[in-house]
Structure 1
């Protein structure tokens, strides 16, 4: 039974996973599905060896693998914002970076990891999945028991420790997928980890076109979502890297969550919370449009 406090979206497969746009031929769709599955399987097989690498080479390998996954499924990717190789402004007390993004699809995970590889926060059920669970754990994934509120402080402490150690931690603070036409409230718990570690927060906006092809919401079966992605003729994904938020001395987690949510929603990019400072890069944001980011 699902706990009443868990975040839920109003999106449903019937209402949101429609209007997928032009369809590719059946033969091309089968080829994409086969290629995508093969690339994912290759990553799983190589994961134990990759875990032995240092952080930077492992991140480079992870990014390359995720680009290959997106390419195999025929997804064209546009990256808008500071290039991932550019140094990120850091808060004085902590070298890590908390990446927060809206959540639309299972595609969000390889899309972010292709540009900003780091340690993902995932629901604890994934840890128990055969094959993928151990691989995720070995890759540094942090897990949250979504139906056990009392375990949340421990999860926040683990995230804070990872940030203090210099890791990039990636979180979807809506807690559930939305189709992209709407957005859920950013839950504040993850932002407490950034405050405890003195880490900056990097808001990221993800969007897809056509939205229906990528949306993975409600009780939508994964197999059906994979097929929609594979059959989409011109599926595009945009990842927009927004200016980092540097918490001020009196910032609380709710204010920080609101500022990040507004930035991702493009509602008030120039009016952050009074106790949160947007750190804007000195040079204009760069943009690229390619099949997958280089």
Structure 2
């Protein structure tokens, strides 16, 4: 019942946002409703978001750890960023349509040629100034550790316009991280039921860390390593995970 009530609230938020979204699109300007929808949908699902640090608002690629689909509601609602996602999400009912409306950049990871094309699309989005968010682990983790950051997903950084900065973001659910993590063979419906039906509010802190200059960092592997160490240190300091940088 709790899940259905939250879905009903989210549907109401969507219905309220659609007229303004359509008007913005008709006028050829970015929709102001996407960020509002994500933030309000997150609140409907219990998220209580706290922002720590100073988020950059343009010419930035956010690199964040990934625990749950709730990450998108939290980070998107706080920043208005466009997201990079696996291409299979594009075909999901309702969710795929919402992702496209939000400017999601879909990565076809099975084809190297397609990945190069998506890197160009990402570079184009970054050139427009809008923040873009990427989960470099490539999938959700278990909430107790960080997976390796895939440097291959950062190919677009090398083709990005001058002035781009990379900002690590630690998405910190505290002790609840392991309870909401989407791992193993858990299906989409089962995870939505378990996480969406969770009682009570769910505090999450978005820790915006010191930006990385891609030019000075020395390549995408170095960027991936520096971002992972920064996020790992932040989550370790809060007690969420135990992280030790690679030697």
Both structures adopt the same fold (TM-score exceeding 0.5) = yes
With the shorter chain as reference, the TM-score category is 0.7 to 0.9
Normalising by structure 2, we get a TM-score of 0.81
Aligned residue pair count: 232
Q: Aligned residue for 1:99?
A: 62
Is the aligned partner of 1:237 residue 2:226? no
Normalising by structure 1, we get a TM-score of 0.69
- 8 Å contact 2:63–2:167 — kept in the other structure? yes
2:8 aligned counterpart, secondary structure = helix
- 8 Å contact 1:63–1:117 — kept in the other structure? yes
Q: Aligned residue for 1:187?
A: 150
* Partner Cα separation in structure 1 for residue 219 and residue 138 of structure 2: 20
Residues 223-253 of structure 1, C-alpha deviation per residue, up to 9 Å, x if partnerless?
3323333323342212111111112357111
Q: Aligned residue for 1:72?
A: 44
* Partner Cα separation in structure 2 for residue 45 and residue 179 of structure 1: 38
- Point out the structure with the larger helix share: 2
Q: Aligned residue for 2:165?
A: 200
> Of residues 37, 57, 72 in structure 2, which corresponds to 1:109?
72
Moved more, 213-222 or 109-118: 213-222
Query: If you compute each CA radius of gyration, which structure gives the higher value, 1 or 2?
Result: 1
- 8 Å contact 1:69–1:110 — kept in the other structure? yes
* Partner Cα separation in structure 2 for residue 233 and residue 137 of structure 1: 30
Structure 2 unpaired stretches of 5+: 238-244
1:237 aligned counterpart, secondary structure = strand
> Of residues 23, 35, 40 in structure 1, which corresponds to 2:9?
35
> Of residues 247, 254, 265 in structure 1, which corresponds to 2:232?
265
Residues 1-24 of structure 1, C-alpha deviation per residue, up to 9 Å, x if partnerless?
xxxxxxxxxxxxxxxxxxxxxxxx
Q: Aligned residue for 1:254?
A: 221
- 8 Å contact 2:144–2:178 — kept in the other structure? no
Q: Aligned residue for 2:124?
A: 161
Q: Aligned residue for 1:228?
A: 194
